[in-house]
C-alpha cells in the first residue's frame, strides 16, 4: 500500500515526509526568539492568527550551524503546531514505505526520526517522522 | 429555576421539531414500533421534567399519553386511527403549552380533559386540536457546539489581525479621510465583536459546583464521616476553559478537606465540635479576578507534623523552624508530601497540593492558605476572570518584548527614584523599595539578552508570587494591553520561564512571562531563606497607615488619594476630553466616563487621568501627573465644608490635601440604576406554596417596576401583598391585599380577586392598591 510522501531537503539531506503529518507548507516571516528554550527551538512565528513554534531541523538533527531556510512544513503534535524548517521541497508523490532493515545503521541524530525507506527511481530516501524532530516530545513508535 | 425552565422549553421545542417527521410517519404506519418508541420517549421525558419543574398540566397530559403508548407497546391496545389521532393531539397540545409558558401567555385548560378522555379505549370521538394556538415567542436561545465557539474566537482574532494589517498598510501612504473614517468604524465594530464573542465563552461556575454535593456525600460516606456542604456564588461566570482547568484542583482540595481536614465523628465530639463537619465552597468576583474559597471546620494544618515529615525526608529542621508561620503553612505545597500517615482510598493517589498549586499557577492564579489548628482551614484560589484575555503590561528587554500579567505586578518604579536602593549582597542583587528588601532579577540577564546600549535607567517591576515578591529589572515598560494568551508548545514551556504565548496587535508573537517560573529559574528560594520572617517582623514595626497615591493636581497643588480607590492611572489625549451633556467627560477604551477635575482642563494636549472604581460605577479624575506612593498618617484634619477635599494631612512635613473619593463619586458618578431600588414599591408574595407566583408573576412585577420579595426582612413593610385566593396572608396583613384566583370568571359581585393570567388586570389592581385607591 503506498502513501503520499513529500520529498524535501532537510539539513542538507533528501528525506521523505508522510503527507498525513503535513498540514501545510509555508514561508516563515519574522521569528520571535524564545530565550533559554532548547537550541532546537528557533522561536515563534505567526501564521495567520495562530502562533507556531519554529523548529530548527538542522540543529535538531545534530548538525552545526542553524538552518538558513525560511520555508517550513507545518505539523501538529499533541494539539500544538510546529513549523519545521526545510531547505526546499522537491516533489509530492505516492511511495511505498519499506522497512529500513539490511543492517543499515543511521547516524544517532537521525536514528530517532528514521521510519523506513522509500525508493524514488532507484534512489533510496529516508522517510522521517516529523514528531521526532520536535524537542520536548517522546515520539510515539 | 428559570434556567431549568428555559432549558426545558428549548429542549422540548427541539425534540418536537425533530419529532414532527416521526409523528407523520407513525400516522401512516401505526404499527411501526420504532416510531412509537420515539414518541414514547418524548412524552416520557416531558413527564419526568414536569414533575421536577412543577408543571402539573403538562405532567397530566404527558402521563396520560405515556400510559396509552405503554399499552400499545406491550400489545394491550392496537394503534387504530382514533388512538393515533388522540396521541398526536396531546403531543400538539404539549407543544402549545410549552410555547405559552415561554411567551407568558395563558392557554385554557378546559381542552386538556377532553384530550385525555379521547385517549381512553373505545372512544370514537375525534379529538380536535384546539383553535388558534398562542403566538409563538421567538426563540431566545440556541444551542451551539463548543467547537463552533472556539472557531468563532479564532476567526475573531484573524479579523483583528487583518484589521491591524490594513491599518498599517494604509498609514504608509496618504490616507483619504473618508477611508480613515471607514477604517475607524471597522476598528470599533471589530472591537465590540471581540468583546461579545469573548462573552459567549463565559459559563456559570455552577458547571463546576453542581457535581460537588454528590461527590462530597460519596467521599464522606466512604470515610464514615458526615459532612454538610454549603455552596455559594454558583452564578459567577468564568471562561469555560478555565472551568475545565479548575475542575481537578477543586476536586482534589475538597477530597483532601474531607479526608485529612474533617475529623471522624467521635473525634469531633471529643473536640467539642458538631458531629457533622462543615464544608463551604464559594465563588465571587473581585475586580478582574475570581476568588474561589474552600473552607472546612476540620483540624487545620498541623505545621509541627509537616515539619517532622519534611525533616524525616532529609530537610534541615533548623531552617524549617526559622520560617514564618505563613511560610510553614505553605510547606504543604512541597512535592511528595502526604500529611496523613496512611494512604487512603480517597486522596492517597500520589497527587499532592504541589500539583494543585502548579495547575492554578499555570493559569495565572495563586493559592492562599488560612489555617487555625483544630479549628479549620480556608483555601482561597484567585484566578483571572478569563484565560483567553489577560490584562498585561508589555515590557522590553533589549530588542525583545514580553508580556507580564498585570495581576502579578504590584507596582513599577524607576531605579533613579530616591525611594529605591540597589545593592549587591554577596553576589546577589537586592533592591530596597521604601524599606522593603527583595531580590532583584535582571530580565535581560536572566534571558541572556543584551541590553540595548542606551545608558538609560532601568525600571523595576515589583512582582508578587505565591511565596513572596521580587523586583524585575526591565529596560522599558511599553504598554498596557489586553492579550489573548494561549499555552505555548512543550518545547517552549520547557524553559520554565513562560506562561504562554500571544499574538498582539503588532502581528509578531510575544511570550508571556511566568513570574513564579522566573523566580525559580533565577534561583530565588523564598522558602529557604529566612527573609520572610524578617519581613513580617518589619511589617509589625512599620507605622500603620493607608497607602495613597501622591499626585500633582491640575491647579498645581499636591494631593493624595487612597490607593485602594484607584483602579489605574491612564494617559489620555486632550482631545478625548469633551464638555458634553452638561459636564466634562473623557473617552477611555471606547467608554465615556465622567471626568472630575480641580483646575482648568482646557488647552492641555495630554493629561493623566485617575480611574476610580467603586463596584459598578466608575469616575475619572484629571490630574497633572502621578508622583509617588506614600503612607498616610492616621491623623487628618477634616475639611470645613464637604467638597472634593476630605481633609489635610501631614506628609514629610508638608500639608497634603486628601481627595474625598466618596464626594467625587457622589457628585460625579453617572447614576441611572440605583435610584430605582430605593423608590420601587415592595410587593410581597405570600402563600406561594407551589412556586407558581415566583416563577411566573414575579418577572411581570419586576418588569413593571416593583421590588418583589417572598419574605420580609425585619423592618420592611410591603406596599402591597399578593396572595392566591385559597390561602390566608401570613405576614404583613396590614398592607393592602390583592388576591389571585385560578378561575377565569369572578365568583360574584363581592369578589375583587384577579384572574391569575390576567396580566393587565393584575398590574392595574396592584397600582390601585399601592396608590391607596383600593376599592375596599
Note whether B388 contacts A: Cβ–Cβ < 8 A: no
For residues B363 and B383, the answer to whether their CB atoms sit within 8 Å is yes
Rounded-to-integer distance, Cα B133 and Cα B97, Å? 9
For residues A27 and A19, the answer to whether their CB atoms sit within 8 Å is no
Specify if A10 maps to a domain.
yes
Q: Which residue of B has its CA nearest to A56?
A: B491
Please report the ipTM that was assigned to this predicted complex.
0.89
pLDDT at residue number B300? 86
- Among A87-96, B2-11, B486-495, B758-767, which range has the highest average pLDDT? A87-96
Rounded-to-integer distance, Cα B483 and Cα B508, Å? 13
**8-state DSSP, B124:** -
Q: Which residues contact B196 (CB under 8 A, 6 or more apart)?
A: none
Is it the case that residue B521 has pLDDT exceeding 90? no
Note whether A34 contacts B: Cβ–Cβ < 8 A: yes
Of B279, B302, B452, B424, the closest CA to residue B374 belongs to B302
What percent of chain B has pLDDT above 90?
Answer: 4
- HSE toward the beta carbon, residue B502, CA cutoff 13 A: 27
> Per CATH, which fold does B204-384 belong to?
Heat Shock Protein 90 (3.30.565)
Superfamily of segment(s) B2-119: HPT domain (1.20.120.160)
Q: Which residues of B touch A78 (CB under 8 A)?
A: 490
Note whether A2 contacts B: Cβ–Cβ < 8 A: no
Q: Which residues contact B184 (CB under 8 A, 6 or more apart)?
A: none
Asked if CATH classification 2.40.50.180 holds for the domain at B543-668, the reply, yes or no, is yes
> Which residue is it, cell 400489545?
B75
Q: Which residue of A has its CA nearest to B492?
A: A37
Which H helix or E strand runs over B764?
helix B759-770
- Give the largest Cα separation in chain A, rounded: 46
Q: Could you list the residue range(s) of the whole structural domain that residue A89 is in?
A: 2-133
Helix-strand-coil split of chain A, %, nearest 5: 10, 50, 40
pLDDT tens digit sequence for A1-13: 678 999 999 888 8
- DSSP-H helix ranges across B618-723: 661-668, 674-679, 692, 698-703
**How does residue A22 score in pLDDT terms, banded at 50, 70 and 90?**
very high
Rounded-to-integer distance, Cα B660 and Cα B371, Å? 37
pLDDT at residue number B670? 67
Q: Which residues of B touch A50 (CB under 8 A)?
A: 154, 503
Arithmetic mean of pLDDT, B348-352: 50
> Per CATH, which fold does B675-770 belong to?
Rossmann fold (3.40.50)
Phi/psi of residue B41, each to 5°?
Answer: -60, -40
Q: Which residues of B touch A134 (CB under 8 A)?
A: 489, 491
Cell of B125: 370521538
**8-state DSSP, B452:** P
Rounded-to-integer distance, Cα B353 and Cα B600, Å? 56
pLDDT tens digit sequence for B623-656: 888 888 787 777 777 777 777 888 888 877 788 8
Of B500, B515, B504, B405, the closest CA to residue A53 belongs to B500
pLDDT at residue number A64? 77
Note whether B447 contacts A: Cβ–Cβ < 8 A: yes
In order, the DSSP letters of A46-83 are EETTEEEEEE-HHHHTT-SS-----EEEEEEETTEEEE
**How does residue B466 score in pLDDT terms, banded at 50, 70 and 90?**
low
B632 alpha carbon, distance to own chain's centre: 33
Q: Report the domain count for chain A.
A: 1
**How does residue A75 score in pLDDT terms, banded at 50, 70 and 90?**
very high
Task: Suggest the residue from A28, A38, A44 to mutate for an interface test with chain B (most B CBs closer than 10 A).
Answer: A44
Note whether A134 contacts B: Cβ–Cβ < 8 A: yes
Q: Do A37 and B491 count as a contact with CB atoms less than 8 A apart?
A: yes
**How does residue B45 score in pLDDT terms, banded at 50, 70 and 90?**
confident
Asked if CATH classification 2.40.50.180 holds for the domain at B389-537, the reply, yes or no, is yes
Rounded-to-integer distance, Cα B514 and Cα B362, Å? 8
> Which residue is it, cell 494631612?
B649
Torsion sign over Cα B480, B486, B492, B493: positive
Which H helix or E strand runs over B252?
helix B240-256
Of B488, B47, B450, B65, the closest CA to residue A53 belongs to B488
Rounded-to-integer distance, Cα B116 and Cα B129, Å? 12
Rounded-to-integer distance, Cα B205 and Cα B478, Å? 35
Q: Which residues contact B495 (CB under 8 A, 6 or more apart)?
A: A34, A35, A36, A37, A38, B521
H helix and E strand count, chain B: 24, 35
Q: What is the β-pairing status of strands B737-741 and B720-724? A: parallel
Torsion sign over Cα A109, A113, A116, A121: negative
Q: Do A80 and B489 count as a contact with CB atoms less than 8 A apart?
A: yes
Specify if A138 maps to a domain.
no
Is it the case that residue B343 has pLDDT exceeding 50? no
> Which residue is it, cell 503534535?
A77
Rounded-to-integer distance, Cα A22 and Cα A13, Å? 18
pLDDT tens digit sequence for B668-719: 776 554 444 456 778 888 777 767 777 777 777 777 777 787 777 777 777 7
- Counting other chains too, the contacts that B32-38 makes at CB distance below 8 Å and 24 or more residues apart are B33/B73, B36/B69, B36/B72, B36/B73, B36/B79, B37/B73
pLDDT at residue number B534? 44
pLDDT tens digit sequence for B199-246: 787 888 888 898 888 888 888 888 888 889 999 888 888 887 788 888
Query: Would you tell me which residues 319-358 of chain B have a C-beta closer than 8 angstroms to some C-beta of chain A?
Result: none
- For residue A129, the domain's CATH number is 2.40.50.180
**8-state DSSP, B259:** I
In order, the DSSP letters of B473-526 are EESEEEEEEEEEEEPPPHHHHTTS-EEEEE--TTSS-EEEE-HHHHHHHTT--T
pLDDT at residue number B389? 65
pLDDT at residue number B352? 72
pLDDT at residue number B775? 41
B377 alpha carbon, distance to own chain's centre: 24
Arithmetic mean of pLDDT, B429-445: 88
Rounded-to-integer distance, Cα B280 and Cα B296, Å? 6
Torsion sign over Cα B50, B54, B56, B58: negative
- Give the largest Cα separation in chain B, rounded: 102
Which residue would you say has higher pLDDT here, B118 or B692? B118
Arithmetic mean of pLDDT, B318-322: 82
Rounded-to-integer distance, Cα B510 and Cα B498, Å? 10
Specify if A141 maps to a domain.
no
Q: Which residues contact B352 (CB under 8 A, 6 or more apart)?
A: B333, B334, B335, B336, B337, B338
pLDDT at residue number B531? 43
Is it the case that residue B354 has pLDDT exceeding 90? no
Q: Do A36 and B503 count as a contact with CB atoms less than 8 A apart?
A: no
Rounded-to-integer distance, Cα A74 and Cα B269, Å? 64
Q: Of B158, B491, B498, which is closest to A135 when you measure between CB atoms?
A: B491
**8-state DSSP, B697:** I
Q: Do A32 and B508 count as a contact with CB atoms less than 8 A apart?
A: yes
Is it the case that residue B135 has pLDDT exceeding 70? no
pLDDT at residue number B403? 92
Q: Do A36 and B509 count as a contact with CB atoms less than 8 A apart?
A: no
Q: Of B157, B158, B492, which is closest to A34 when you measure between CB atoms?
A: B492
Exposure of B229 by Cβ count < 10 A (0-12 exposed, 13-18 middle, 19+ buried)? buried
Is it the case that residue B537 has pLDDT exceeding 70? no
**How does residue B615 score in pLDDT terms, banded at 50, 70 and 90?**
low
Q: Of B490, B495, B509, which is closest to A44 when you measure between CB atoms?
A: B509
Torsion sign over Cα B531, B535, B538, B540: negative
Note whether B138 contacts A: Cβ–Cβ < 8 A: no
Q: Do B491 and A45 count as a contact with CB atoms less than 8 A apart?
A: no
Phi/psi of residue B129, each to 5°?
Answer: -65, 140
Q: Of A30, A35, A48, which is closest to B448 when you measure between CB atoms?
A: A35
Amino acid at each position: 500500500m503506498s502513501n503520499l510522501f513529500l520529498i524535501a531537503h532537510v539539513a542538507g539531506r533528501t528525506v521523505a515526509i508522510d503527507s498525513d503529518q503535513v498540514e501545510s507548507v509555508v514561508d516563515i516571516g519574522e521569528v520571535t526568539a524564545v530565550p533559554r528554550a532548547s537550541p532546537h527551538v528557533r522561536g515563534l512565528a505567526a501564521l495567520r492568527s495562530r502562533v507556531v513554534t519554529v523548529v530548527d531541523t538542522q540543529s535538531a538533527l545534530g548538525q552545526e550551524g542553524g538552518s538558513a531556510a525560511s520555508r517550513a512544513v507545518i505539523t501538529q503534535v499533541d494539539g500544538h503546531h510546529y513549523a519545521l524548517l526545510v531547505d526546499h521541497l522537491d516533489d509530492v508523490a505516492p511511495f511505498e514505505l519499506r522497512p529500513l532493515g539490511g543492517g543499515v545503521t543511521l547516524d544517532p541524530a537521525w536514528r530517532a526520526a528514521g521510519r523506513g525507506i522509500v525508493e524514488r527511481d532507484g534512489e533510496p530516501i529516508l522517510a522521517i517522522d516529523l514528531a521526532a524532530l520536535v524537542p520536548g516530545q517522546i515520539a510515539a513508535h | 429555576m428559570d434556567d431549568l425552565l428555559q432549558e426545558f422549553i428549548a429542549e422540548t421545542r427541539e425534540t418536537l421539531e425533530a419529532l414532527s417527521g416521526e409523528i407523520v410517519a407513525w400516522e401512516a404506519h401505526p404499527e411501526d414500533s420504532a416510531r412509537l418508541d420515539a414518541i414514547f420517549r418524548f412524552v416520557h421525558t416531558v413527564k419526568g421534567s414536569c414533575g421536577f419543574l412543577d408543571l402539573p398540566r403538562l405532567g397530566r397530559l404527558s402521563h396520560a399519553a405515556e400510559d396509552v403508548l405503554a399499552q400499545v407497546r406491550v400489545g394491550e391496545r392496537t394503534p387504530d386511527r382514533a388512538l393515533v389521532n388522540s396521541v398526536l393531539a396531546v403531543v400538539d397540545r404539549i407543544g402549545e403549552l410549552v410555547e405559552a409558558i415561554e411567551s407568558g401567555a395563558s392557554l385554557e385548560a378546559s381542552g386538556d380533559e377532553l384530550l385525555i378522555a379521547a385517549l381512553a379505549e373505545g372512544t370514537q370521538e375525534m379529538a380536535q386540536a384546539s383553535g388558534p394556538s398562542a403566538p409563538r415567542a421567538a426563540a431566545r436561545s440556541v444551542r451551539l457546539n463548543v467547537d463552533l465557539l472556539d472557531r468563532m474566537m479564532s476567526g475573531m482574532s484573524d479579523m483583528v489581525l487583518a484589521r491591524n494589517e490594513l491599518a498599517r498598510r494604509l498609514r504608509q501612504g496618504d490616507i483619504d479621510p473618508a477611508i480613515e473614517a471607514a477604517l475607524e468604524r471597522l476598528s470599533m465594530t471589530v472591537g465590540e465583536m471581540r468583546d461579545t464573542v469573548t462573552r459567549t465563552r463565559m459559563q456559570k461556575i455552577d458547571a463546576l459546583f453542581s457535581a460537588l454535593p454528590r461527590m462530597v456525600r460519596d467521599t464522606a460516606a466512604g470515610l464514615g464521616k458526615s459532612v454538610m456542604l454549603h455552596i455559594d456564588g454558583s452564578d459567577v461566570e468564568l471562561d469555560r476553559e478555565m472551568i475545565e482547568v479548575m475542575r481537578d484542583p477543586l476536586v482534589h482540595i475538597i477530597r483532601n478537606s474531607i479526608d485529612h481536614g474533617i475529623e471522624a465523628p467521635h473525634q469531633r465530639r471529643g473536640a467539642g465540635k458538631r458531629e457533622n463537619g462543615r464544608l463551604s465552597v464559594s465563588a465571587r468576583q473581585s475586580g478582574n479576578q475570581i476568588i474561589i474559597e474552600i473552607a472546612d471546620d476540620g483540624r487545620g494544618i498541623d505545621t509541627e507534623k509537616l515539619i517532622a515529615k519534611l525533616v524525616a525526608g532529609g530537610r534541615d529542621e533548623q531552617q524549617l523552624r526559622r520560617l514564618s508561620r505563613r511560610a510553614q503553612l505553605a510547606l504543604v505545597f512541597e512535592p511528595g508530601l502526604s500529611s496523613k500517615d496512611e494512604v487512603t482510598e480517597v486522596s492517597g493517589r500520589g497527587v499532592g497540593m504541589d500539583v494543585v498549586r502548579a495547575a492554578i499557577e499555570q493559569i495565572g492564579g495563586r493559592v492562599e492558605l488560612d489555617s487555625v489548628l483544630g479549628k479549620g482551614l480556608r483555601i482561597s484560589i484567585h484566578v483571572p476572570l478569563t484565560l483567553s484575555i489577560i490584562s498585561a503590561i508589555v515590557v522590553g528587554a533589549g530588542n525583545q518584548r514580553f508580556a507580564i500579567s498585570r495581576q502579578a505586578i504590584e507596582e513599577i518604579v524607576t531605579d533613579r527614584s530616591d525611594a529605591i536602593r540597589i545593592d549587591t549582597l554577596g553576589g546577589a542583587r537586592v533592591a530596597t523599595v521604601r524599606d522593603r528588601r527583595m531580590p532583584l532579577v535582571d530580565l535581560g540577564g536572566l534571558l541572556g539578552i543584551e541590553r540595548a546600549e542606551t545608558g538609560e535607567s532601568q525600571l523595576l517591576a515589583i512582582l508578587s508570587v505565591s511565596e513572596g515578591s521580587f523586583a524585575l529589572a526591565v529596560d522599558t515598560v511599553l504598554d498596557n494591553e489586553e492579550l489573548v494568551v494561549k499555552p505555548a508548545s512543550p518545547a517552549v514551556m520547557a524553559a520554565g520561564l513562560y506562561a504562554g504565548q500571544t499574538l498582539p496587535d503588532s502581528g509578531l508573537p510575544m511570550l508571556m512571562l511566568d513570574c513564579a517560573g522566573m523566580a525559580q529559574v533565577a534561583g530565588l528560594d523564598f522558602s529557604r531563606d529566612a527573609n520572610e520572617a524578617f519581613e513580617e517582623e518589619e511589617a509589625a514595626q512599620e507605622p500603620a497607615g493607608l497607602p495613597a497615591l501622591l499626585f500633582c493636581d491640575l491647579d498645581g497643588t499636591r494631593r493624595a488619594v487612597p490607593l485602594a480607590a484607584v483602579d489605574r492611572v491612564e494617559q489620555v489625549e486632550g482631545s478625548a476630553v469633551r464638555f458634553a451633556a452638561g459636564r466634562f467627560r473623557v473617552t477611555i477604551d471606547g467608554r465615556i466616563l465622567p471626568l472630575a477635575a480641580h483646575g482648568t482642563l482646557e488647552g492641555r494636549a495630554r493629561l493623566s487621568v485617575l480611574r476610580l472604581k467603586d463596584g459598578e460605577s466608575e469616575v475619572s479624575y484629571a490630574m497633572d501627573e502621578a508622583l509617588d506612593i506614600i503612607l498616610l498618617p492616621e491623623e487628618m484634619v477634616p475639611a470645613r465644608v464637604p467638597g472634593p477635599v476630605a481633609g489635610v494631612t501631614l506628609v514629610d512635613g508638608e500639608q497634603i490635601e486628601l481627595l474625598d473619593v466618596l464626594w467625587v463619586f457622589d457628585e460625579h458618578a453617572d447614576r441611572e440604576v440605583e435610584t430605582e431600588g430605593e423608590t420601587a414599591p415592595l410587593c410581597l408574595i405570600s402563600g406561594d406554596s407551589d412556586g407558581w407566583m415566583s416563577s411566573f408573576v414575579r418577572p411581570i412585577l419586576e418588569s413593571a417596576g416593583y421590588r418583589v420579595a417572598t419574605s420580609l426582612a425585619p423592618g420592611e413593610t410591603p406596599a402591597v401583598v399578593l396572595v392566591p385566593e385559597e390561602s390566608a396572608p401570613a405576614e404583613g396583613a396590614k398592607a393592602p391585599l390583592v388576591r389571585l384566583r385560578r378561575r377565569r370568571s369572578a365568583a360574584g359581585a363581592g369578589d375583587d380577586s384577579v384572574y391569575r393570567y390576567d396580566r393587565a388586570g393584575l398590574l392595574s389592581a396592584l397600582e390601585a392598591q399601592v396608590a391607596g385607591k383600593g376599592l375596599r
